Amino acid sequence: MIKSLRREQILRNSLSLVREHGFPALTLRAAAAKCGCGLATVKRQFPNQPALCRAVATYARVVEDAAIMAEAARLFPVDTTSQL
């Protein structure tokens, strides 16, 4: 499968997992199981759980999933005090 399509599949299935069980349930293994692929396939796209969670939160914004965006904002607050 083309890399960008595999990434999209992982994000779509991970978002579904988050909708069902919340961000705490989103592990690399759970994402692999939901996608029906191997753990190594997920790790090629997302090296660790925080990277996958951030990508799913961003993907939720792209597909405009308000409930997931709210949970992501609560779990991963943006630091507005740091300077660029």
Average pLDDT along the chain: 85
Q: Helices 28-35 & 3-21, crossing angle to 10 degrees?
A: 110
Name the more confident of 40 and 79.
Answer: 40
- Model pLDDT, residue 63: 77
How much is the average pLDDT of 29-55?
Answer: 95
Name the more confident of 8 and 2.
Answer: 8
Please determine, for residue 6, whether its predicted confidence score (pLDDT) is greater than 50: yes
The alpha carbon of 6 is separated from its chain's Cα centroid by a whole number of angstroms, namely 13
Q: What is the pTM of this model?
A: 0.74
The domains of the chain, with CATH numbers, are 3-75 (1.10.357.10)
Say if residues 55 and 42 touch (Cβ distance below 8 Å): no
- Model pLDDT, residue 79: 61
